[in-house]
Amino acid sequence: MAAAVTMPAIPANVAEWIAAFARLTGPARVHFCDGSEAEFDMLAARLVAEGKLIPLNPDTHPRCFLHRSHPDDVARVEHLTFVCTRERDEAGPNNQWLPPEQAHARMRELFSGCMRGRTLYVVPYVMGPPDSPYSRLGIELTDSAYVVLNLHRMTRVLPDRVYSRIAGGEPFVRGLHSVGELDPNRRFIMHYPEELAIESYGSGYGGNALLAKKCHALRIASWQARQEGWLAEHMLILRIETSEGEPYHIAAAFPSACGKTNLAMLVPPPAYRAAGWRVSTIGDDIAWLHPGADGRLWAINPEAGFFGVVPGTSRATNPNAMAMLGEDVIFTNVGLTADGQPWWEGLSEGVPAYDWQGRPWRREMGPAAHPNARFTVRASRCPSYSPLAESPAGVPIDAIVFGGRRADLVPLVMQAQDWTQGVLLGAAMASETTAAASGATGVLRRDPMAMQPFCGYHFGDYFEHWLRIGASLRSPPGVFLVNWFRRGTDGGFLWPGFGENIRVLEWIVRRVRGEVGAWDGVVGWLPEEGDLRLEGLALDGSTLSRLLEVDREGWAAELADIGRFLDGFEPRLPERLRERLRALKRALAG
Ligand code: OXD
Ligand code: MN
């Protein structure tokens, strides 16, 4: 029998909602989270006692834990993710759709009695700096203490703030989550943007279960943003200070597992550091962008922590991440050394004794860490974290960057000729799939603005919304396209990437400042010879020209394919994008 629910002083609408979910799911007890470190320690100790968390070596990794998820539950499940609007067209062809009443009925059946013997945790959180007018509220109800620990690090769990703002009439996103039986055949992630509600069943992993992240801060928030005149985007936010100490802010959209965290935490190479260049981190995954009274676009990071991909992280690729991964981290699905240290592919030191499933590891078994293994860590632990991430107003964005993982065609960097072309190039972005979502990896797919899995409404309306936001700005950011992932005939990457990407950021900043010209490659403006600083890089002339070429035939085929892709969003595709595509095709042929 379900235990009686005792409530702290919380608003009546919240209490009623919790009580109804408790009646449906039948937990043995309800725990109202206070967000304190004592609560984190208590829950971590409980999970350790249950064998669901493994404390790591306290001498090398104090307050660090390893969690092994179910082997069938290791990534976001896009094929089981639905947007449930009253009208099918609102969700668009970019989302799987169910009528809300049908989705609710299915979820009610799954949730029914699913928490017997378990604890129901109530996690009230703020997304964004709590004093920011752009911050938003959510409450996740979950039966996973692992989820609670992650939300402690990823969001601001502030019950008093949340309850008092709700009592004052503010809306909040209602998230319901149960790990259920972790059966992939009984797993769904449902979104009801019109109700500001999320229901997730059957997964304990990442974006499926930490509802504040992809479900709230992107799918539901993108819907809210459209109603309210702002943008919720899958973007990192970084601050770059030039050698003269001038600050610029860049928001960059890349698909999952394409290096957003590494770019956000970039450490410039020694010559740049010596000259005074500095990069600091405001966010690594999500940006909420608001037109400001000054006609610029202002960004906040709604999150308070990082849930980053671990494999490939090393002192060479991301020294800032390595510095923050030594203490107070939850690792998920990494390997383990004999002396209890986390291990993953890309680390130069240590040898794994166990793989991510806890099996004794031998080389012939392949990777010890799962390719989508993750770290969860509070953002303030990152040495490059900027205090401006706590600024209620956010930071003014000077440049928007779109980037995908493409072996060919897309040059290292180019600039869109205006906002409309930027929206077109963003809408047409394509990238090779990665292990962040279940399914085949390395398959090229269109991923508009890196939002294919995350836009909570029809992409045709979304592109129109982008055009409108641009038109409302007196000083819109420049829009750029980058591609760190061009490959040569031997399959190797042509561009060194990581810290060396500062060279591309420098060109972007110099373009924004109006300091350098660019040549017109029709699909975009590209660096003039000598403007992209390359001293100290072992790049031969032919590699460089491949990185910065515009292959007109290749682009003609690309534009034709983009046209076919965009046809899928008719009749809601903005005519202005269609016109610009036609104009580009003509210019390329001419
Ligand atoms: C993420 C993702 O976890 O994009 O950030 O999958
Ligand atoms: Mn992401």
Q: Residue 77 C-alpha to ligand 1 middle, in angstroms?
A: 11
User: Of the ranges 1-5, 84-88, 360-364, 372-376, which one carries the lowest mean pLDDT score?
Assistant: 1-5
Q: Is the CB of 206 under 6 A from ligand 1?
A: yes
The pair phi, psi for residue 220, each rounded to 5°, is -70, -40
- 558 pLDDT higher than 90: yes
The pair phi, psi for residue 371, each rounded to 5°, is -60, -20
Q: Is the CB of 325 under 6 A from ligand 1?
A: no
Predicted local confidence at residue 436, as pLDDT: 85
Q: Is the CB of 207 under 6 A from ligand 1?
A: yes
Q: Is the separation of the CB atoms in 273 and 292 below 8 Å?
A: no
Q: What does DSSP say about strands 119-127 and 29-32: parallel, antiparallel, or unpaired? A: parallel
Protein residue closest via CA to atom 2 of ligand 1? 256
Protein residue closest via CA to atom 3 of ligand 1? 207
SS3 state at 230:
coil
Q: Catalytic residue among 64, 258, 382, 455, which?
A: 258
Average pLDDT, the chain: 96
Which ligand ends up closest to the CA of 308? 1
Among 535, 584, 542, 537, residue whose Cα is nearest residue 559:
584
Q: Is the CB of 436 under 6 A from ligand 1?
A: yes
Q: Is the CB of 284 under 6 A from ligand 1?
A: no
Which segments of 234-346 are extended strands (E)? Answer: 235-241, 247-253, 278-283, 287-291, 297-300, 305-309, 330-332, 335-337, 342-343
Query: What pLDDT digit, counting tens, does each position of 273-318 carry?
Result: 999 999 999 999 999 999 999 999 999 999 999 999 999 999 999 9
Among 344, 326, 135, residue whose Cα is nearest residue 221:
135
User: Residue 64 catalytic?
Assistant: no
Element (H, E) at 123: strand 119-127
Q: Is the CB of 307 under 6 A from ligand 1?
A: yes
Q: How confident is the model at residue 9 (pLDDT cuts 50, 70, 90)?
A: confident
Predicted local confidence at residue 1, as pLDDT: 43
Tell me the CATH number for domain 12-52+72-228: 3.40.449.10
Predicted local confidence at residue 578, as pLDDT: 97
Question: Could you tell which of 69, 74, 76 is best to mutate to test the pocket of ligand 1, judged by most ligand atoms within 8 Å of the CB?
Answer: 76
Mean per-residue pLDDT, 403-430:
96
Mean per-residue pLDDT, 247-267:
96
CATH 3.40.449.10 in the chain is located at: 12-52+72-228
CATH 2.170.8.10 in the chain is located at: 306-379
Helices (H), 143-269: 145-154, 159-167, 206-209, 221-228, 260-264
Q: Residue 77 C-alpha to ligand 2 middle, in angstroms?
A: 13
Q: Residue 82 C-alpha to ligand 1 middle, in angstroms?
A: 17
CA–CA separation, 250 and 240 (whole Å): 8
Element (H, E) at 509: helix 502-512
Predicted local confidence at residue 459, as pLDDT: 98
Q: How confident is the model at residue 8 (pLDDT cuts 50, 70, 90)?
A: low
Q: Residue 321 C-alpha to ligand 1 middle, in angstroms?
A: 16
User: Of the ranges 6-10, 94-98, 257-261, 466-470, which one carries the lowest mean pLDDT score?
Assistant: 6-10
Mean per-residue pLDDT, 24-45:
98
CA–CA separation, 384 and 324 (whole Å): 10
Query: What pLDDT digit, counting tens, does each position of 435-478 carry?
Result: 888 888 888 999 999 999 999 999 999 999 999 999 999 999 99
Question: 60 vs 57, 125, 337, CA distance in Å?
Answer: 6, 31, 12
Q: Residue 285 C-alpha to ligand 2 middle, in angstroms?
A: 5
**Which overall architecture, per CATH, does domain 306-379 show?**
Beta Complex (2.170)
Protein residue closest via CA to atom 1 of ligand 1? 256
Contacts of 548 (CB under 8 A, 6+ apart): 411, 412, 413, 526, 527, 532
- 5 pLDDT higher than 90: no
Q: How confident is the model at residue 16 (pLDDT cuts 50, 70, 90)?
A: very high
CATH 3.90.228.20 in the chain is located at: 232-305+388-589
- 125 pLDDT higher than 50: yes
CA–CA separation, 298 and 291 (whole Å): 6
Q: Residue 228 C-alpha to ligand 1 middle, in angstroms?
A: 25
Instruction: Please state which of the four CATH numbers 3.40.50.2000, 3.90.228.20, 3.40.50.720, 3.30.365.10 is assigned to the domain occupying 232-305+388-589.
Output: 3.90.228.20
Predicted local confidence at residue 209, as pLDDT: 98
Predicted local confidence at residue 138, as pLDDT: 98
Ligand 1 atom nearest residue 234's Cα: 4
Q: Is the CB of 547 under 6 A from ligand 1?
A: no
CA–CA separation, 76 and 209 (whole Å): 9
Question: Could you tell which of 81, 210, 214, 236 is best to mutate to test the pocket of ligand 1, judged by most ligand atoms within 8 Å of the CB?
Answer: 214
Ligand 1 atom nearest residue 75's Cα: 6
Query: What pLDDT digit, counting tens, does each position of 382-394 carry?
Result: 999 999 999 999 9
Q: Which two tokens stand for residue 286?
A: 């999500």
Query: Across the strands, what pairs with 175?
Result: 140, 198
